[in-house]
Structure formats: structure tokens, C-alpha cells
Amino acid sequence: MLRLNPHGYLRFLQANEFEVNYTGAEANVCVSLALMGINAALVTKVPENDIARAGIAEMRKFGVDVSHVAWGGPRIGVFYAEKGASQRPSKIVYDRAGSSFATCSPDDFDWDAIMEGASNFHMTGITPALSKTMPEVCLKALEAAKAHGLTVSCDLNYRKNLWTTQEAKECMTRFMPYIDLLIANEEDADKVLGIKAKNSDVTKGQLDTEGYVDVARQICETYGTKQVAITLRKSISASDNDWSAMLYTGGKPYFPRTYHVHLVDRVGGGDSFGAGLIYALLNDYAPQDAIEYAAAASCLKQTMELDFNLSSADEVKQLAGGDGSGRVQR
């Protein structure tokens, strides 16, 4: 999809021109994994026009396999991003109704061919929210993934501008039996699954880590999920956040160090966390090492403009290993 944003910190009302970039939650994960050395393929549908071709070329540039992309339909989805600062929050405006991907059908994709030889299938809760027909497309993909023995990871990624909490809950609870690794932020489990952390209020910067351990435990017990990862963002302002996470697996929680991040662009921070966790688990990292790697990957992304995490695996490992000095590398 297209991301259009004013230059720098200009508000929409001030913008006379917009920067054009190509993105999407699953696309962000693919790019991050590809740059870390993992073979990653993007599944989507785009119109047969030059704008879409430019977007697919951007995926190719970063080494993402686009051989399963379907072509056709009326338009590419768009979102507009206004970057916040200090006490002024960032804003997102979606224009995705009627896009090629939102109007695709299960028959647009050969899911058996797509899953053949793969080890992990990743999706987000944004995709089924795009239209009334997208949940069935996602369900077909999940059924094929499990039939081929893939590990399924899913980032709940609740977006109030795309669907209601009730719509999200009805859809995502249908998907939960297929999901091995569930990724969420502080609010997702509450908004989508109705499981709320005690003694936490993200709007006031209050996070009770023990409450999120209980949330993860309830998810695993209720849905049979093998692993739950929750990103923990303490918002000091739109410019500064404390960033951490938790991985719950085998009945135990694992927490990485907490990073104080001076934000350059937080969009895509959750996607880079998911990619980092997938990378670590594909490489058989121990749980503590896996969550350290994922948190470090996401921390680095939020110091970069736009949606992609352009960090290499070595750069992530360096930060996860404790070198967060930011000193010039010569």
C-alpha cells in the first residue's frame, strides 16, 4: 500500500505536498526478515498500474519474494501519516476501501503452492479488517498453513479506524485455534479478545508487567496458543517512549531490557518486533535470547524514518548484546 505523509513534522493542514512510500504491516515484516537473511515472500493483490509496479519493485529491492502477488482490481490502498511530537500525537487516516487487496477473493491465491516448502506463515489483524470478505480469505490461508505443517504467527494489530471491537473479536476468535504465536500490544488483547491487564493504563504511562503475564496465561489457557508476545510501550510523550516486551512460553514469562527511545518514526515498530521474534524462533533462540533480539530490533526501527526496519541481524545482535551507546561505527 501507499504511505503519504507531509514533510517532517508538518500537519496535514500545512502540507502542500506529500512524500510517497510503499508499506503495509505484512510487507514491513517481510522486508525486515529479508534484510536479516531469511527468505520471505509477500502475498497480496495489487492493480495492474505503474504505482503498484513501483511498490512491488520496492519489495524486490529489499530481497522480498513477490512471485505470489496477484494482479488485478481497481486500486492500491493508501494511508496518510502525520507525525506527532512532544504532547501532540501522530495521526493516521486510512483510504483503503475498495482496494485490490480488500476486494480479493480466496480464489486469487493458490494457497497450497504458497505454503509448499515454507516454515512460517505470518498475518496481522489489519488484513481481515479491510472488508467483509477478507476474513474468508484469511481463513483459507490459515487452513492451508496448518495443513502444510507451518507455524502460524499473528499480530492482532487492532485498528479502531478499520473495524469495531465487536467485529474484531468475532473474527479473530475464529482464527485463534490456528495461531501458534500471538503478538499483541498493551491494548490489543483487551480490545480484541476481551482480556485486560490489571493495574495498567497506557494513556497515563502505567504498565503492570504482572498483569500482562496473566493476560498471556489466559490467552494460552483459553485458546491453546503456544506462545504469546506482548510489546510494552510506556508513552512519556509522542517523542519519547520506554520500550520493552514479554514472551510467554512454556508457562513462563521472559522480559528483555527496557529501552528509552527518542522516536524518529514509531510506525512499523510492532512489525519489526514481530519480524525479530520470528527470526529468533526460526533460528532456535532460547526464549530469553529471542525476546531480547525482538525488542532490540523494534527499538532500532523506531530510530529510522518510515516503516521498514533496515537493520541487519548483526546490528540487532549488537544492541541486544548490550551495546546501545550509539557511537559512530568506523
Domain ranges of the chain: 1-104, 180-320
pLDDT at 205 over 80: no
Burial of 140-154, coded b for 16+ CB within 10 Å and e otherwise, reads: ebbebbbebebbbbb
Average pLDDT over residues 227-253: 96
Q: DSSP letter at 89? A: P
Lowest-confidence segment of 72-76, 151-155, 324-328 by average pLDDT:
324-328
Contact partners, residue 330, CB within 8 Å, separation at least 6: none
Identify the CATH number of the domain defined by range 180-320: 3.40.1190.20
pLDDT at 235 over 80: yes
pLDDT recorded at residue 208: 80
Average pLDDT over residues 74-88: 96
pLDDT recorded at residue 265: 95
Is the whole model's pTM more than 0.75, yes or no? yes
Average pLDDT over residues 252-267: 96
pLDDT at 296 over 70: yes
Average pLDDT over residues 212-232: 95
Handedness of CA 157, 162, 168, 174 (dihedral sign): negative
pLDDT recorded at residue 326: 79
What percentage of the chain reaches a pLDDT higher than 70? 97
Q: Which CATH architecture has domain 1-104?
A: 3-Layer(aba) Sandwich (3.40)
pLDDT recorded at residue 203: 56
Which residue stretches of 86-164 are H helix?
111-115, 134-147
pLDDT recorded at residue 157: 94
Tell me, yes or no, if the two domains 1-104 and 180-320 fold the same way: yes
Average pLDDT over residues 202-207: 60
Residue 59's pLDDT band, with cuts at 50, 70 and 90, is very high
Average pLDDT over residues 161-171: 95
Average pLDDT over residues 124-129: 97
